[in-house]
Structures are given as structure tokens and as C-alpha cells.
Structure 1
Amino acid sequence: MFMGEFTHSIDAKGRVILPAKFREELGLHCVVTRGLEGCLSVYTAENWLSLANSMKKLKASKENVRAFKRFLFGSAAEVEFDRQGRILIPAALREYAKLTKDVTVLGTGDKIEIWDKGAYETYAAAIVPDMEEIAESLHETLDVDF
């Protein structure tokens, strides 16, 4: 399980280090793609395959399914770690997430998110006041206590 929040820098070549505990779970390579809310999503090879298999079950005759598949798979890149524990984020993905210098790396359970640090701070400031309402709605769905 991926958990925790870390701040790192992205270098001029577009490489970013991921925390050692994340690298251990990711293995030799992982998949990076566009995420929602303007971040990037990083998946283990196993989780990526599971997601791809789930997406196959959706009806390709629906326009929103085709659009989401293009969004998710069209930008996906398989990446490997270098000796310093960094991954090279392709230019198109850096541009999508507006990654320039400082990034926030978040564990979100089954995947990792990479955000521009300022964008994440803005997002978090906006969403945190609604967290009790969000937790309550999840409680009703999942029947768990937070």
C-alpha cells in the first residue's frame, strides 16, 4: 500500500526521485499516466494490468468510455528507475501536470500521485474544509468509521 506525502524536486531533464518505500513496492518499472485534477498517477505493473483489464469490460460504443480510455492510455508511459531512484517523466506528462521544480508525491493506497507542489497546496486548501462531508458520504457507502 502506498501512503505518505513527500516533497521532491524535478530536475531539468524531467527526472524525479520517488521515496524508497514506494520504489520497493513498484519494482523495476512502473506506469505513469495522466491523473484527475491535474496530477499524474503512477501504478505498479500489476495494478496497471488490473486497471486495463477492468477498462476492457466497459462498452467502447459509449463516447465517454472512448474519451476516458484515450485520456488514460494515450498518455501512459512505462518508466524504469535509474541508479539514484529517479524516474524520467515524459515531457507531455510534465506539461499536463505543470511540473516545473517542486513536486508533491502522495501515496493514495493503490497508486501514487505526483502533483506540482503549488497546485497540490491549492487543491488541498480547497478540499480540506469539505472533508467531514466527504467522509460522511463514504461512511454511508463503505460502512466504515474514520
Structure 2
Amino acid sequence: MALRVGDKISNFKGKDANGNDFNIESIIGKKPIVIYFYPKDNTSICTAQACSFRDQYEEFTDLGAEVIGVSSDSVASHKDFAKEHQLPFILLSDSDKKIRTLFGVPSALFGLLPGRVTYVVDKKGVVQLIFNSIKGQNHIVKALESIKKLVS
């Protein structure tokens, strides 16, 4: 069952790019969150999307929000990806696809690729925006607009 706007996200855990345990409960109740699911580290669209979030990360943090990227890549892949592109935000490894399944992220391109979906979640953990598009850079614009509405 896919999450919809107005749904509260379930608790989830994962490993970040440094191999540390991450629990979404450490953020819920404190700040809004942008959680974006992407297909694969170091592919052209995914890299452009991650770098766009990087380039505008300060805008998100100035608004009090956190950004989290999620893909099924390994912790080691995320570590290299984050280092190479100087990504300041959290990257979670979802190698067992539990987080993707929890959110109900659909596959793209006839089921051949993991989907690219961004969720904006308010600080209470309630989904305010779901944006599904294969165009990676559109996600940053939509997420930033949504965060600005949340905090204004």
C-alpha cells in the first residue's frame, strides 16, 4: 500500500553512507524532511539530482529541513558517491528494499528501474507532498516549494 498525502510515515531504520545506524525517529518531531528515492548512485540523472540537492542543501537547512536520499546501493557505494560529489546530506542504503516497500515507491520504465519519488514530510511525520518524476532535477524545485509552504 503506497503512502498518500496525509499519511503518517512509519518508523524505519537504515545504514548511512558511513555505515552508521540511522533511525527516522531521530528526526520526526524535530524538523520537516525531504526523503527522495532514486535508482542508482553514479548514474547521470541520479548524480545531477544529488548535486542539485547538494547545491541547495543550505536553503533546506536554513528552512529547518533535512534531506535524505535513499537507494538500494550498498553503504560502500554511498560512501564513495557522497565523497566524490561532496554530498552533505544523509544517504541511506536500502539494499533489502524495505524502506522503498514501506513507502510504496513504484518502479519506473516498465518495472525495470527503481522509481524516483520525493516525499516531503512535516515535522510530525505526515506526508505533505509526493512527487513522482523520472526527471531528477524537478524534484528539488517541488521539494523546496513544499518546505517553504510548511514553514511560512
Task: Please report the TM-score for the alignment, with normalisation by the length of structure 2.
Answer: 0.28
Structure with bigger helix share is 1
Instruction: Determine which structure has the larger strand proportion and give its number.
Output: 1
Larger Rg: 1
Task: Provide the TM-score with structure 1 as the length reference.
Answer: 0.29
